[in-house]
Structure 1
Amino acid sequence: MMKQHQAHRSPLDLAGVGIGPFNLSLAAHLDAVDELEARFFDQSASFSWHPGMMLPDVTLQTSFLKDLVSATHPVSPWSFLSYLVANRRFYAFLNADFPAIPRQEFASYLAWVAAGLPGLQFGAQVREVDFDGYAFAVRLDNETFSARNLALGVGLKPATPDFIDRLRPGAAFHSSRAAFEIDRCAGKRVAVIGGGQSGAEIVLNLLGRGAGAPAHVDWISMRPNFLPLDETPFTNELFTPPYVASFHSLPEARRHTTVEREKLAGDGVSAETLAAIYRRLYVLRHLESGGPSADLLPHREVINAEPRDNGCQLIMRNGMDGQVDIRKADILVLATGYRYELPPCLAPLAGRIDLDRSGRPRPGPDFAVRWDGPASARIFALNAGLLSHGIAEPQLSLMAWRSAVIANALAQRQVFDVERPEAMVQWLDAMPHEAEAGGQA
C-alpha cells in the first residue's frame, strides 16, 4: 500500500495533479508498489466523473475490462470485477447482459475506487508547481509538498468557437454541462453543433423528453454524414500497445495526418445511438403528433453566430453544394470537443516544457515530457499524447497500460508486465538489418 505522506518531510516519489480516471489508474497501480510514496491532489470536494454528461441511458463505448487496472494488474483489488463483487452485484450484472455498460455504472466504479484508495487528497487545489533544482515544490493553499516527479492528470478543457463570446449569456452551453442545462431547452428552438457521440446523445435526449422537449432541434455536423464509430476488430488494433509503439516512432508531421485520418475510430457515434435517433425520428414523423420537429444538417460548417433578441442566427456553409445556410436558434448546444491546455499551476515551469505546434507537451515512450530540467525529475503527462501516442491516448482503452509503464519508470524495475504482445497487424516494415537476419534464419 502507498504510505501516507507527512508534509515537510522527505520528498514524495510522485505528486499527482488532478484525480480523474487516468491519475486514479496510476494511483491504483502504485498502491501495489511498496517502495514508492505518492500523493494525488484534486480541487473538487470528492470524486466525480463528467457529471454534466450523465444523461439518462448513456453507455460506455469501451469494454468494462479496460478498467483502471485489469490489463496490467488483473489481481488488483481495484478492478471493475472487484467492484461488482464488493457491491454484491456480480451475478445481476452478468444477467443484465448489457451490450454496452451504462456510463453511470462505470462512474460508480471509479468513485468506489477513489473512496477506497489511500494517497488521494480531495478539496486540495494545487496553486503552483515550481522546481528548486532538486525536487518539485507543489504548493497548496496551506501547505507545500516536495516531490521528485509529477503526474499531470487534469483533463481537457471544453473547446468552443470564438463567436460564442459575442452571444448573450445563456444563449449557449457546452456538452460538458448538458445534464445541468438541458432542461432550459423545453419549448425552444435548439441547435446542437457537433456530429460525435456527445452531440448524438444530446439529440436523442432532446427528441425523447416528452412534455419537456424543445419545439425544434437542428443537428449540425461538419462531417458529410452522421457517421458511426469504427469499432471493427482491425480498427480496434489501434488501441493496443504494439500500435502505439509504431505510431510513436513516426515523424511528428506524419503523426498529425494519421490522427486526423483515424478520427472515426475514437470519435464516431455508436451504431446503437444512431439507430435509436433514426427510430425516434420515424416515430415523431409518422406515429406521434405534437412532438418536436427536427432537421438533420450534416456537411455544414458554422462560420458565425450573430446575437439576436431571442437567441442567435447561425451562418453556415453547406459543404455539399457550397451554398450558405442561415438558421435561427434560441439555444446552442456545443458538442464541439475539447482542447489540451497546461494547467495554470504550471506557470512557473511553462517556459521550460517543450511543446509541439499544437501547444501540447511531447511525451516520450514512458509518457515523461521533454523539459529542460534534470532527467531524474520527470513530468508525466496523461492525456497529452494524442499527437505522440495516437488516438488511444485520450480514451480509457489503454489507461491501465500507460499507468503500468509510468509505475515501472518510477520504480526503475518491471513491477508490471508491459511487454508488447505480438500484434495481429504488421504496422511497420522491419528494419533492413532485421529483415536480413530473418532471411538468414
Structure 2
Amino acid sequence: MSTPAAEETVHDLVGVGIGPFNLGLAALAEPLELDCVFLDSGEEFRWHPGMMLDGATIQVPFMADLVTMADPTSKYSFLNWLKQVGRLYPFYIREDFHALRAEFDQYYRWVAGQLNSLRWGRTVEQVDYDAESDLFTVTALREGSDMEGSGVETYRAHSLVLGIGTEAFLPAPLRELAEQAPERIRHTSRFLDERQQALADGSVAVIGSGQSAAEVYLELLESQPEHGARLEWITRSARFQPMEDTRLTLEMTSPEYADHFHGLPTPRRDELLAQQQTLYKGISADLVDRIYEALYRHSAVRAVDTALLTDAEVTSAVAGPEGVELSLHHRQTGQRSRRQVGQIIAATGYRPRRPEFLAPVEPLLRRLPDGRLDVTRDYRIDSLGGSDENGSREQGDGAGEAGRGRIFVQNGEEHTHGLSAPDLGMGAYRSARILASLTGREVYPLERRIAFQDFGPAEQTQETRA
C-alpha cells in the first residue's frame, strides 16, 4: 500500500457512499458554489441489481426522483432524462405515475455520468477530526484500474454526509442456516444473479411479507410451468398485507410529521414504528391482485404446486442431505409444524450499516442510550455545536451556521424521524435541508407545512391551507 496522497484542497463537503440519496445531494449541490466530493467503493452506480425484475415499478410517483421535489427546474430531473432519451411522449401516453424500476436505474446512471464530484472505486477506511483546524480527514483506499494505480488517498473537508445505505438482513434462524449451509439460502438482493441455483433442488420457500417477497414469488409462479419447482411463500404477518397509501396516510411523510415524530420520546417512537409497518413495508395492492390472478389463471389448466402460509414464524432452519427443515410457529393458534424445502429465498429486508471507519470520531457522535445514532432534526449526528438541540437555530428552520464542521446522515434516521427516512420522495427535501445548513441559507425553498392534518395537540386557529 502506498503512502496516502494528501489533497491540498479543503472541500466544503465529503460524501461517503453514492446511493440515490447522496446522488441526489450531489446533483442539487452541483450548481452551487460548494466544493463537494462523493466517494463510493463500487466501480459504477448500481441500484438493487438483484431485484431488477422485468416490469417491476417503483412504489412512489416519478416526481420522487433525485431533484424535482427540491428544484423542479433542475436539468437532472427524471422528466429531462425522458426527454433526452426520446421517451417523454411514450411515458406521457402511458399515463402511469409509477416508472419502471429499470427506467429509474437508467436515469440514476445518466445523472451519475454527468457529475464530476463522484469518485468511484474508493473504499473509505477512516475518518479523523482535527479540532484546531475544525476539519475532517477522510482516508480512502483506491482500487487499481487501467487509468490509475491503487493506493491511499486523503480528503479534507469542513463537513461529512454519510449515505452508506443499508445491508441485507437475516433473522437469527436464517442467519444460522447461512453460516452452516450458504448454498441453501440467498437474500433477495442476489435473486437475479442466483435464480437458477435457487431452483436447483426442486422446491423453494420465499420467506418474507413485503414487496420484494411478492415480486419474487410472482416471478417464480409465472415461470413454474418451465422450472417445475414447488413454491412456498411463508410470512409471519397475519395476512399478505397491502401497503397503505391513502392520501391522508401519505401525509405522514411530511416535514411536519417528521417534526412531530422527532419530538416524541424514544420509546414512543419505537412503538409507532412497529405499528406503522404496513405504511411502507407492505405489498402494492396491484401486485397482490396480480398474484391472485396468476394463481387463478394457472389453476384453470393445472394443479398449482404451491403453498401460501401466513402468521407462520420461522423458529429454526436446519440443513440436511434432503434440503432444509423449517420449524414454524403459527402465532394465532400456537401450534408448531415442520416443512421440508430445497432452497430458501429470504425477503427479510435490510438494516442500517454500522460504519467502522467512524471509530476515530466516535467521541463526537451523538448516540441514544441503546447505541443508535441520535440524529438531530436537520440530520446531524455530531456534537460539535453551532445549533440548538433540535439541530437548527429554530424548530423547522434548516439554515444553520455556514462553514462549521458537522456530520450529516442520509437514510439513517428512521428511528428519529419516522417513515420519511427511506422514502425516495423525501430525499430531495432532506438534501435541500442539508444544503441549507451547509450554506447558511435556503438555496432551495423548504416547505414547512404541507399536510392538512395536525399530528399533535393544536390550538384552534383561523389558519387555512391555500
TM bracket, shorter-chain basis: over 0.9
Q: Where does 1:60-99 land on structure 2 (aligned, <5 Å)? A: 60-98=58-96
Query: Who is 2:156 aligned against?
Result: 146
Question: Is the contact between residue 384 and residue 406 of structure 2 (CA under 8 Å) also seen in structure 1?
Answer: no
- Structure 2 CA distance for partners of 1:158 and 1:373, relative to 1, 3 Å: farther
- Structure 2 CA distance for partners of 1:286 and 1:17, relative to 1, 3 Å: same
Question: Is the contact between residue 340 and residue 360 of structure 1 (CA under 8 Å) also seen in structure 2?
Answer: no
Identity of aligned residues (%): 35
Structure 2 residue 359 is the aligned partner of structure 1 residue 323: no
- Structure 2 CA distance for partners of 1:374 and 1:7, relative to 1, 3 Å: farther
User: Residue by residue, what CA displacement relative to the aligned partner does 1:343-388 show, whole Å, maximum 9, x if unpaired?
Assistant: 2222322354233356431211110114468873211011111011
Question: Is the contact between residue 266 and residue 392 of structure 1 (CA under 8 Å) also seen in structure 2?
Answer: no
Structure 2 residue 354 is the aligned partner of structure 1 residue 356: no
Looking at structure 1, the residues matched to 31 and 380 of structure 2 have their Cα atoms a distance apart, in angstroms, of 21
User: Residue by residue, what CA displacement relative to the aligned partner does 1:4-27 show, whole Å, maximum 9, x if unpaired?
Assistant: xx9622421110000000001111
Q: Where does 1:15-414 land on structure 2 (aligned, <5 Å)? A: 15-34=14-33, 36-98=34-96, 100-133=98-131, 134-141=134-141, 142-163=152-173, 164-166=175-177, 167-186=180-199, 188-288=202-302, 293-350=305-362, 352-356=364-368, 359-371=371-383, 376-414=404-442
- Structure 2 CA distance for partners of 1:198 and 1:93, relative to 1, 3 Å: same
Amino acid at match of 1:309: P
Shift of 1:33: 1.3
Structure 1, gaps ≥5 residues long? 1-5
User: Residue by residue, what CA displacement relative to the aligned partner does 1:39-58 show, whole Å, maximum 9, x if unpaired?
Assistant: 00011111111111112221
Looking at structure 2, the residues matched to 22 and 360 of structure 1 have their Cα atoms a distance apart, in angstroms, of 21
Query: Who is 1:3 aligned against?
Result: none
Looking at structure 1, the residues matched to 114 and 154 of structure 2 have their Cα atoms a distance apart, in angstroms, of 24
Looking at structure 2, the residues matched to 73 and 26 of structure 1 have their Cα atoms a distance apart, in angstroms, of 12
User: Residue by residue, what CA displacement relative to the aligned partner does 1:267-291 show, whole Å, maximum 9, x if unpaired?
Assistant: 11001111111111112323235xx
Tell me, what secondary structure is at the counterpart of 2:14?
strand
Question: Is the contact between residue 190 and residue 214 of structure 1 (CA under 8 Å) also seen in structure 2?
Answer: no
Looking at structure 2, the residues matched to 59 and 314 of structure 1 have their Cα atoms a distance apart, in angstroms, of 32
Tell me, what secondary structure is at the counterpart of 2:300?
helix
Looking at structure 2, the residues matched to 377 and 182 of structure 1 have their Cα atoms a distance apart, in angstroms, of 46
Tell me, what secondary structure is at the counterpart of 1:149?
strand
Question: Is the contact between residue 185 and residue 213 of structure 1 (CA under 8 Å) also seen in structure 2?
Answer: no
Amino acid at match of 1:69: V
Shift of 1:100: 2.7
Looking at structure 2, the residues matched to 31 and 73 of structure 1 have their Cα atoms a distance apart, in angstroms, of 12
- Structure 2 CA distance for partners of 1:11 and 1:302, relative to 1, 3 Å: same
Looking at structure 1, the residues matched to 49 and 9 of structure 2 have their Cα atoms a distance apart, in angstroms, of 37
Amino acid at match of 1:236: L
Question: Is the contact between residue 247 and residue 390 of structure 1 (CA under 8 Å) also seen in structure 2?
Answer: yes
Tell me, what secondary structure is at the counterpart of 1:157?
strand
Q: Once superposed, what is the RMSD of the aligned Cα atoms?
A: 2.0
Shift of 1:301: 0.8
- Structure 2 CA distance for partners of 1:437 and 1:63, relative to 1, 3 Å: closer
Question: Is the contact between residue 413 and residue 421 of structure 2 (CA under 8 Å) also seen in structure 1?
Answer: yes
TM-score (norm 2): 0.87
Question: Is the contact between residue 284 and residue 293 of structure 1 (CA under 8 Å) also seen in structure 2?
Answer: no
- Structure 2 CA distance for partners of 1:87 and 1:320, relative to 1, 3 Å: same
Shift of 1:311: 2.1
Q: Where does 1:418-433 land on structure 2 (aligned, <5 Å)? A: 418-430=446-458
TM-score (norm 1): 0.92
Amino acid at match of 2:192: A
User: Residue by residue, what CA displacement relative to the aligned partner does 1:289-324 show, whole Å, maximum 9, x if unpaired?
Assistant: 5xx511000101110111111321000100121100
Query: Who is 2:395 aligned against?
Result: none
More deviation, 419-428/53-62? 419-428
User: Residue by residue, what CA displacement relative to the aligned partner does 1:381-401 show, whole Å, maximum 9, x if unpaired?
Assistant: 111110111111012120000
Looking at structure 2, the residues matched to 237 and 280 of structure 1 have their Cα atoms a distance apart, in angstroms, of 33
Looking at structure 1, the residues matched to 71 and 189 of structure 2 have their Cα atoms a distance apart, in angstroms, of 31
Question: Is the contact between residue 199 and residue 343 of structure 2 (CA under 8 Å) also seen in structure 1?
Answer: no
Question: Is the contact between residue 13 and residue 36 of structure 2 (CA under 8 Å) also seen in structure 1?
Answer: yes
